[in-house]
Amino acid sequence: MKKRLIPILLGAVALAAALVGTDFWQKNYLASITTLQVPVPKADILPYTMLSADLFTLQEYPRALTAQGGYALSTGDLDGRISTGELLAGLPVPEHLAVPPDQFRLADPTLEVVSLPAEAVEAAGAQIHIGEAVNIYCLKPAPPQAQQDMVGPPPEPEVELVARVPIVDVLSDGGQPLTMGEDAGPGSTDQSASLKILVVAAPHETVLAILQAIALSQHEGAVLWVTLATP
């Protein structure tokens, strides 16, 4: 009798273990295939596109696909960002392909970004940093006297305030960013020796005024001068 009971007990234990294992496997398997809704483009989105919630629709994808992160999980994650690569219709959006505009193009998307030449002596001794506001002046030479025997003092040169704009980058002659280390302060010589280009952001009309001033400096003897703006 005992000999028959032992196999029965072993069989019952094996059956119970199998049932527990099956239940555990089913729960974990179902958990692994549980879906969630993620935003996907309604149509292909080109690079350099300002993203808005209406460009996307929600579509179900396996949770395991997004469990490791790296994908946008809501339209709120995408709204107001800019695409840095093509976003394909119907596919989840990788986070690195949708970034804040100022991270991708240096400035707010409503502003144009323009560079202007700047020597250290004409740009506050090169003590200009990203994020600071500057005033750009155009120093126009005095117009030539119309007649040699003109009576009175000679005409004076003209100083015109062109724009007040934020600095978004400071570059060397080769277009390399000038990064100032923790030990570099107001007396840094590396920056003053290398500063050649200031990059600013401004509305379109202001950019046109800056370009006109640059043209005067290139062709009519005017000089651009940059000062740190008052707070």
> Which residues, 6+ apart, have CB-to-CB distance to 199 below 8 Å?
106, 113, 114, 115, 167, 168, 169, 170, 171
Q: What pLDDT shows up at residue 33?
A: 63
Residue 120 and residue 203 in one domain: yes
Q: Is residue 5 one of the residues assigned to a domain?
A: no
> How far apart are alpha carbons 169 and 178 in whole angstroms?
8
Q: What pLDDT shows up at residue 65?
A: 72
Q: Is residue 71 one of the residues assigned to a domain?
A: yes
Q: Is residue 17 one of the residues assigned to a domain?
A: no
> How far apart are alpha carbons 188 and 127 in whole angstroms?
8
**Residue 13: pLDDT band with limits 50, 70, 90:** low
Residue 124 and residue 88 in one domain: no
**Residue 126: pLDDT band with limits 50, 70, 90:** confident
Residue 100 and residue 117 in one domain: no
More confident call, 60 vs 24 = 60
Residue 175 and residue 96 in one domain: no
Residue 117 and residue 55 in one domain: no
Q: What pLDDT shows up at residue 179?
A: 61
Q: Is residue 18 one of the residues assigned to a domain?
A: no
Q: Is residue 15 one of the residues assigned to a domain?
A: no
Domain CATH code at residue 67: 3.90.1210.10
Residue 132 and residue 92 in one domain: no
Q: For the chain, what is the domain count? A: 2
Q: Is residue 30 one of the residues assigned to a domain?
A: no
Residue 63 and residue 116 in one domain: no
pLDDT digits over 78-118, tens only? 999 999 999 999 999 999 999 998 888 888 888 999 999 99
* Enclosing domain of residue 125: 112-145+153-228
Structure tokens at 131: 């994020």
> How far apart are alpha carbons 195 and 197 in whole angstroms?
6
Q: Is residue 185 one of the residues assigned to a domain?
A: yes
Residue 165 and residue 197 in one domain: yes
> How far apart are alpha carbons 172 and 22 in whole angstroms?
66
Residue 136 and residue 216 in one domain: yes
pLDDT at 152 over 60: yes
pLDDT digits over 159-180, tens only? 999 999 999 999 988 778 876 5
Q: Is residue 210 one of the residues assigned to a domain?
A: yes
Q: Which residues pair with 199 in a beta bridge?
A: 115, 169
Which residue, 110, 111, 166, is CA-closest to 135? 166
Indicate the average pLDDT of the chain: 81
Residue 174 and residue 87 in one domain: no
Average of pLDDT values for 211-222? 92
Residue 64 and residue 124 in one domain: no
Residue 94 and residue 164 in one domain: no
pLDDT digits over 198-208, tens only? 999 999 999 99
